[in-house]
Copies of this chain bind each other. A is one copy, B any other.
């Protein structure tokens, strides 16, 4: 009966429903706005509740389901992943970094709470991500070794040789006003966006108990997805609709930012994103398990509203 109803949902409806389910889990791990230290709690929750696509936890959860995961030890990791992503946005938006005043149609955290409080709110989210992920050890039926492995992936892909490395090279090149080489741009993309998509899908796979060989293929597939996703973002910044995006378009050009589009042109960028998505789908189709929604999600990445 329930399955019959589910069958009638379009991809968009299903995505909306899954996003809501994920948000419910995320919100259950956020701190209550009471007692000390109130202001930083507000700033953290303001950042976390700013909307967004929740694409990383959705990828994590769908990969977990793809490989047969049925437990609840994934839930703390879903929340932790979105906390890490959100902390990176809060710090990226700082005056000291990109100095962005709007994101997702709302004022950024440092504009509302001040630069110092925004630094602390980001720190608080990063720390809470790990505090939250650790709760997976205490969930009944959780496989301890898998949780340890998932924690290792979570820290590694967010850190110096993952997302943070990409941010740092980006900031460094901007500060030195150096022209960006193809190699450097690839590094920035693969780390700044790719690493957390990899982390999401790999954690889903590891918690579901995949082999090392499968995990390697998931890692490669997620890198392609993450990079295609970032290229599409760069394309949308040039040809996108401001209202749909919730932020000004043309900001990259205004900031003289080197992107995939400025380096390769719109046409080449679009082609490359498509090629990467197709390669990702090929890897996906090689798995002996299926999750139609996840496949649809990967396909949808190269057809976002412009």
Q: Which residues of A contact B (CB under 8 A)?
A: 31, 36-41, 44, 87, 91, 94-97, 114-120, 122-124, 126-128, 130-131, 134, 137, 144, 148, 151-152, 155-156, 158-160, 164-169, 171-172, 175, 187
Contacts and interface: CB of A to CB of B under 8 A. Distances in A.
A134 B152 contact: yes
A37 B148 contact: no
A68 to B, nearest CB: 25
A128 B159 contact: yes
Contact of A120 (B114, B158, B168, B187): B168
A119 B96 CA distance: 8
A116 B96 contact: yes
A168 B119 CA distance: 10
Contact of A164 (B97, B123, B166): B123
Given A169-B37, A172-B37, A172-B40, A158 B127 contact: yes
Contacts of A123: 87, 91, 122-123, 126, 164
B175 A155 contact: no
25 contacts: A31-B160, A37-B160, A37-B165, A37-B169, A40-B164, A40-B168, A94-B116, A95-B96, A96-B115, A96-B118, A116-B171, A116-B175, A117-B175, A120-B168, A122-B123, A123-B123, A126-B127, A127-B160, A127-B164, A130-B151, A131-B155, A134-B148, A134-B151, A134-B155, A144-B148
B39 A120 contact: no
A119 B87 CA distance: 12
Given A94-B116, A169-B37, A164 B124 contact: yes
